[in-house]
Amino acid sequence: MSKGKLAPIKNKLTIPRLELMASVAGKRMSDFIIKEIDIKFTKIYIWTDSKCVLSWILLSNIEKLPKFVKNRIKILRENKEIEWKYVPSEKNPSDVASRGCNTNELKNYKEWWKGPQFLNESEEKWPQSPELKRNEKEWSKDLEEIKIEMLTKDLINTELRNEWPKLVNISTAFCKAIKNFGRKIQFKTEFGKNLQKIKNKVDLRKIGEILLIIEAQNKYPPNEKEIQELKMKKEKYNMWTCPGRLGNINTPTPIFISKEAPLAEKIALEAHLRTLHSGINQSLIELRQKFWVPSGRQLIKKIINRCLQCKKAKLLPYSIPKMPDLPKERLCVQSRFKTQVWIEIFSCMATRFTHLELVPSLSAKSCIQAMRRFISEYGKPKYLISDNGTQYKLTCKVIQEIEQKTEKEKIHWQFIPSLSPWFGGLYEAMVKIMKNSLKAAIGRKMINYEELRTILSEIKTIMNKRPLTYVYENFDDAYTVLRPIDLILPLRNEENIELEISDEKEFLEKETQRETLIKEWENSNQMLNHFWQKWEKEYLNKLKERADKHNQKLYKKNYLPEIGEIVLIQNKQVPKQAWNLGKIVELIKSKDGLIRIAKVRVKGKIITRAIALLYPLELKAEMPKK
C-alpha cells in the first residue's frame, strides 16, 4: 500500500516542511492499517530519510517551534507505540514514487514490492540513526536572533509602494493600530501623547505623514554643510525644516528630505502627478510647496525621464510607407459626433493669470455667456485682444450697443490682423500649455461633460501656478518664485502639512479674535506687496529682452511698404499664381513707430493684413541696415 501527495503551487513550503507532511501521511496510513487488520502488532516502525523531521520528533520541548511544525509533531507523537527510524535515501524504496519511473522499471523493482533488504536481517544490521545535535538551547538561540533582526528594520517599509498617497495610507493605518493598542499605555514621547489625543481622520492622516518624514530624516539626516547653508532648525517632533532667510514672513517652511532617501523620489513623483505631468519648473514648484530636497531639479528630471506617460507624449513614430487606398468606412456616409465642445481662454496681459471657460458652441450667444461668467468672477476688463472670429465680432457689437444705452465705461476691444496668429502670441502660448495639460490629463480615456469641466478647473489652477521667472537652485530665490496666482489670489490655500494638531475650541474671545484678524490682514497686504514688487523687478525686466525672431526666410527682404504699392496677398488655400492683387491704402504704425500692419484694397473691399503676408510686385532698393 502506498500514498503520494503533490506539493502546493500557491503556498510554497520548504523541503523540511514537505518531508514533515509526508511523515504525517505515513503515520495516518499506519493508523488505518492497524485499525483495519485484525492482527496484534508488538512493535511498529516508521522509516524516514529526513533528519530534520527526526530532530523535531525527538525534541523534549516543542512549544518554541513554529505553529505549523508544532501541530504536526503532536500528530506524530499521538501513538507512543510507534518507533521512528532513519533510512538512508539510497535505501529508501519510497523515493521512486516521487522521482517517477515507468511500469517495467516498477515491476522489476524488488524493494518496492518486498521492502529494503535489511528488513530481512537482525536489528543490529539495520541502518543506524545519525547523531542529532539539535536541542532546545539552539532553537531558543535562533529565535532570539530572529527577534533582533526584526527590531532593526524600519517601522514602515517605504519600498512597499511607489505612490506617496498609498504610503501615507499604510502609515495612517499603522498609527491607528498603535493608538488602539495603546489605550491603556502611558506614552512618554511627544509623538505618542499627541497620537492619543487625535479624534478625527484628518489629524490621524497628518500624523501618518509626519511618521514617514521622521523615519526618513532619522535614517538620512542632514549633514553640517546643509544645516548651515539652508539655516535649518528642528521643530516639533525634532523634524528638520528649512526656513532660509524668510523667517520674518508668515509663510510655511518646507520640510527637509535627503536626496538619498527613497521617500524623496516618491514625493517628487507625487508632485509631478499633481501637476498633470507638467515640466521641470512646474513640478519643482509643486514639490517645494511642502518639502525641500537638495538637488531637487536633478531629482525632478530623473522622475520625468522615467515617467511612462511623459515618454509616451514625446515618442516619435516610425517612417510610414505610401498611403494605401481609402477604407470603405471613409467612403460611406456617417453620422456626426454626438457631443462637441470648445474652450474659451481669458489671459491677463500683465499678470498672465488665465481663466478657462467651457462653451457648447462657437456661436456669439455662447461667447456672451462666457464673458458674463468671467466678468462676474473677476470683474470687467478695460482692454480685450482677440482674433477675428465671427462670434467675437458679433459679441463686440452687442457689448458696444449695450454700453451706449447704459452709458457705462466701455471695453476697448482690439482685433489682431487677419491670418496673423503671431500677433496673438500672448494667448497662443496659453493655448499650447492648456493643450499639453489636457492631453496628459485625459490620454485615451472617455470622459463626459462634467468630468471635462473638472479637469479644466484643475488645469486652470496648474497654469496659474506656473513660474513666471526662472526657478533658481538657491533656496531663498527658489522659494519666493513668482506665479500668476500669487498676484490674483495671494491667500489661496496650498494644502501644506500642518505640524500642529488642531485643538477644538468652541469659541474665541472677542479681543483675541480681533487682534488675530488685524494681524492676518496686515500679513496678507505685506505678502501681496512683496509679490507685486517681485513682479516689477524680475518679470518686467525679463520682458525687456527682445528675441530676434525675424531672421527667417519670410522676412529676408528688408523692404518698407509704401502707400499705393501693388502687392500680392498670401492665401495658403490656393497656389501662389492665384493669389489676389491689392493696393496698399493705409499703413498702421505701432506704438514704437514701426509698421507691422497695412490696409489693402481688394476687389472694392478694404481688408487688414500683416505686412509679412504682403508680397511687393515692383522691385526697389533695399533699406540700408542700421
Q: Which is nearest to 209 in space by CA: 501, 458, 478? A: 501
Domain that holds residue 403: 339-463
Residue 549 pLDDT: 45
CATH number of the domain where residue 605 is located: 2.30.30
Residues 505-530, mean pLDDT to the nearest whole number: 60
Q: Say if 437 falls within a structural domain.
A: yes
Packed helices 390-406 and 364-378: angle between N→C axes, nearest 10 degrees? 60
Q: Residue 491: which residues within 8 A CB-CB, separation 6 or more?
A: 524, 527
Residue 392 sits in the same domain as residue 443: yes
Which of 144, 173, 188 terminates a domain? The answer is: 144
Residue 367 sits in the same domain as residue 452: yes
Q: Say if 590 falls within a structural domain.
A: yes
Residues 183-196, mean pLDDT to the nearest whole number: 70
Residue 589 CA neighbour count, 13 Å, CB half: 6
Higher pLDDT, 216 or 591: 216
Q: Are strands 580-589 and 566-569 parallel, antiparallel or unpaired?
A: antiparallel
Reported as a single tens digit per residue, the pLDDT across 300-310 is 999 998 888 88
Contacts 24+ apart (CB under 8 A), 598-601: 598/561, 600/567, 600/569
Packed helices 201-219 and 190-197: angle between N→C axes, nearest 10 degrees? 160
**Helix/strand/coil (H/E/C) assignment for every residue in 77-111:** CCCCCEEEEECCHHHCCCHHHHHCCCHHHHHCCHH
Q: Say if 121 falls within a structural domain.
A: no
Which of 463, 492, 519 terminates a domain? The answer is: 463
pTM: 0.45
pLDDT > 90 fraction of the chain, expressed in percent and rounded = 7
Residue 135 sits in the same domain as residue 82: yes
Residue 349 sits in the same domain as residue 454: yes
Residue 433 sits in the same domain as residue 490: no
Residue 381 sits in the same domain as residue 439: yes
Number of domains, the chain = 4
Reported as a single tens digit per residue, the pLDDT across 543-577 is 555 444 444 444 445 567 888 888 888 888 887 77
Q: Say if 178 falls within a structural domain.
A: no
Q: Say if 579 falls within a structural domain.
A: yes
Residue 498 sits in the same domain as residue 445: no
Residue 583 sits in the same domain as residue 563: yes
Distance separating alpha carbons of residues 381 and 355, to the nearest angstrom: 13
Q: Which of 25-29, 100-104, 600-604 shows the highest mean pLDDT?
A: 600-604
Residue 443 sits in the same domain as residue 483: no
Q: Say if 267 falls within a structural domain.
A: no
Q: Which is nearest to 617 in space by CA: 585, 569, 578? A: 569
Distance separating alpha carbons of residues 239 and 232, to the nearest angstrom: 10
Which of 144, 169, 184 terminates a domain? The answer is: 144
Q: Say if 449 falls within a structural domain.
A: yes
Residue 349 sits in the same domain as residue 433: yes
Q: Say if 282 falls within a structural domain.
A: no
Residue 343 sits in the same domain as residue 443: yes
Q: What is the dihedral of CA 55, 61, 65, 69, to 10 degrees?
A: 60
Residues 339-367, mean pLDDT to the nearest whole number: 90
Residue 34 sits in the same domain as residue 58: yes
**567, 616 contact by CB (below 8 A):** yes
Residue 328 pLDDT: 62
